[in-house]
Structure 1
Amino acid sequence: MSTESSSRLDLPLVGLAALFLGSGTLHLVRPQVFEPIVPPQLPDARKVVEVSGVAEIVCALGLLHPKTRRIAGLASAALLVGVFPANVQMSVDAGKRANRKRTAKSAGFFAGTLARLPLQWPMIKVALRAGKGTVA
């Protein structure tokens, strides 16, 4: 791994960090938005949401600094894999609501949650690339 390649930021990495910062902040400011998608097997949904929000913010900040980028990249990939079931649950719940309400707004939200699922893969790839120290 060259120091030069691991010290430069690129747009995908900055974008991932920005997404994590935004989402992590939202987890802390409006945790009630995320509580319904916490798997029921986990205790204390509020605590799970808060911890995941802090994890997103820590990962974001780690991705932005060359000395912490590798570990933050690996942690970010793990976090994205870890929250994927909650994103699937959000889509399932949104689909049920859309079917029940049959409004354009509920159908649009459902479509958005579905469209978001395959976007996890490119984010995981960016995180893994950072974890290998090959950013730039």
Structure 2
Amino acid sequence: MSRSERSPLLLAGLLAAAGVAHFASPRQFDATIPKVLPGSPRTWTYASGAVELALAAGLVAPRTRAVAAKATTAFFVGVFPANVKMAADWRHRPAPLKAAALARLPLQLPLVLWARGVARGGEGRS
């Protein structure tokens, strides 16, 4: 399997793992939901987990890969406010936790570029 064939599958695996985590440990994700969003944080947690699972499935199938990768790009941009909220909320936590929350912010860019690369049929990041 070439690197360009493996890249979408790795991205799908990352999304699938994150999606499952939203259902297995929803409480940690509930805390990252911006308060300006209507409804229960748990609803948003489950919805984002379901979206991640659907995106993962779309990335696996070559026929739906480009559309799913474009949607994944938009999803990664859309969840960035949750990462900002987490970084702000964790600013007074112990250094390793604060560092982990802050590290999520710049990591969003490679994820966006990876998904964009998959959408274009390129290797993106793998």
Aligned residue number for residue 102 of structure 1: none
Amino acid at match of 2:63: K
Aligned length: 121
- Cα RMSD after superposing both structures: 1.8
1:40 aligns with 2:38: no
1:121 aligns with 2:109: yes
- SS of residue in 2 equivalent to 1:95: coil
Deviation at 1:58, TM superposition (A): 0.9
| Residue of structure 2 aligned with 1:16, choices 8, 11, 16 | 11
The superposition leaves residues 30-66 of structure 1 with CA deviations (integer Å, 9 ceiling, x where unpaired) of 1111111111111211111101001011111211211
The superposition leaves residues 61-114 of structure 1 with CA deviations (integer Å, 9 ceiling, x where unpaired) of 211211010011011011100100101111111113x2xxxxxxx210110111
Identity across the alignment (%)? 37
1:90 aligns with 2:78: no
| Residue of structure 2 aligned with 1:49, choices 45, 50, 64 | 45
Aligned residue number for residue 119 of structure 2: 131
Greater RCO, CA 8 A, separation 6+:
1
Query: Is the Cα–Cα contact under 8 Å of residues 9 and 64 in structure 1 kept in the other structure?
Result: no
Q: Which runs of 4+ in 1 moved over 6 A?
A: none
Q: Which has the higher helix share?
A: 1
TM-score, structure 1 normalization? 0.81
| Residue of structure 1 aligned with 2:22, choices 8, 18, 27 | 27
Gaps of 5+ in 2: none
Task: Look at both structures and tell me which one has the larger radius of gyration over its CA atoms.
Answer: 1
